[in-house]
Amino acid sequence: MNKTIPFTKSELETIVEKYPTPFHIYDEKAIRENARKMKDAFSWMPGFKNYFAVKACPNPSIMQILKEEGFGADCSSIPELILAEKTGIIGENIMCTSNDTPVEEFLEARRLGAIINLDDILHIETLEKSSKLPELICFRYNPGSARAGNVIIGHPEEAKYGLTRDQVLKAYPLMKSKGVKRFGLHTMVASNELDPDYFIETARMLFGLAIELKAKADIRTEFVNMGGGIGIPYRPEEKEVDLYYVSDGIKKLYKEMIVPAGLDPLKIVFECGRMVTGPYGYLVSTVRQVAEKYKSYAGLDSCMTDLMRPALYGAYHHITVPGKGNLPKDHSYDVTGSLCENNDKFAIDRELPELEPGDLVVIHDTGAHGYSMGFNYNGKLKSAELLMQEDGRVRMIRRAETMDDYFATLNFKD
């Protein structure tokens, strides 16, 4: 994957004159094109919808764009539910997939008419406490050792999420006996997965379980939710997931399994976040200093507050230095932030052109799980978010935090 940026050095300098670094900037045109591609690839699927995982980029301006493209919202907390509501995403356009869920959250999800996806058999009781049971219920299935996991999500049998197979087979008939009429089936077993066959296998697993539920308990599954987890090529040598290949593979299984079982039409939905916005966001920073110690350290004006993934999972994020693209990458830097944590590094031993104070640095693929993961450790304030609109103009869609925001929860008088 050739890693490019959607602005020139001088365009970026114009943006920086108005909006000082650091900031995240999102490319609206690319987000829309990508959303349309996803819809096109999966267009044969009955009731296809992607419920955008709000945690990936919880900004109403971004959610609005995705709503216009026909996406729903996948929410895991009350604030995320309210964000969806404020964007005008309500009813069954919201999937509420949380875990260790409090009663209040179910209440809020019920108020909005969201689809409730239960993470645990215990949640049946919690939900009953919140209100009378809804007409439609979904459960999250955890296949345990039946599926291999990956680095971010871990092995399914070690994962805190979902119901075991035995629990699934008990939960649906129980809900039916309590008067629930409509059923969905969900799973999410991998995160940032680049192997397209993995998703075809997930469909096979869910289709198999839907068929079993019909045979054993006369449960007619209305939809399967494939979860999120479609990966993106963070590294230049990686390849993006071919959605058309995934779609064809699932279509074949649908014809082989679902149609003969009498389950057609079975809706197929996703709750992807990363692949929807990830590649179309960039963290823009300025080099503050280049320090020579036992190694060379390029210190930026941002830090892991703005992007946690490298520190959290050792994740690779590509770096471009606008205006220096044609220079040889003959210097090696640890590209660091200003936090008092030695893992506050965006890159380690990264080959780059020679850096100088004042250089603009663009960190790629921050459009999902970028801004949203940040914290205020060390009194670091969160950056602004900008949108590069389809017409090329740049608009601020979230201001940077100020000290007043940071102090807002404190009481200095006591």
Ligand X SMILES: *Cc1c(COP(=O)(O)O)cnc(C)c1O
Q: Which two tokens stand for residue 95?
A: 């999937």
What tokens does 266 get? 């079975």
The least CB distance from residue 272 to ligand X, in Å, is 4
Among 149, 228, 310, 337, binds ligand X (CB under 6 A): 228
Q: Can you tell me the distance from the alpha carbon of 15 to that of 386, in angstroms, rounded to the nearest whole number?
A: 10
**8 A C-beta contact, residue 367 and residue 306:** no
* Residue with token string 């949640």: 123
Residue with tokens 């971010």: 152
Minimum Å gap between C-beta 52 and ligand X is 9
Q: 88 exposed, middle or buried (CB, 10 Å; 0-12, 13-18, 19+)?
A: exposed
Strand partners, 281: 26
Site string for ligand X, 178-207 (x = CB under 6 A): ----------x--xx---------------
Q: What is the CA radius of gyration of the chain?
A: 23
By beta-carbon proximity to ligand X, the closer residue of 15 and 272 is: 272
Binding-site size, ligand X (CB under 6 A): 17
Single residue of 24, 67, 123, 274 touching ligand X by CB under 6 A? 274
CB of 302 to ligand X, least distance (A): 22
x/- map, 70-109, ligand X, by CB under 6 A? ----x----------------------x------------
The residue count of the chain comes to: 414
> Which range touches ligand X (CB under 6 A), out of 15-23, 205-213, 228-236, 398-406?
228-236
Instruction: Considering only the stretches 163-171, 268-276, 282-290, 291-299, report the one whose residues sit in contact with ligand X under the rule CB under 6 A.
Output: 268-276
Task: Give the span between the Cα atoms of 229 and 245, in whole angstroms.
Answer: 16
Residue 121 CA from chain centroid, whole number: 25
Smallest gap from residue 98 Cβ to ligand X (A):
8
Task: Kindly list the residues in this chain that would bind ligand X in the complex (CB under 6 A).
Answer: 53, 55-56, 74, 97, 188, 191-192, 227-230, 271-274, 368
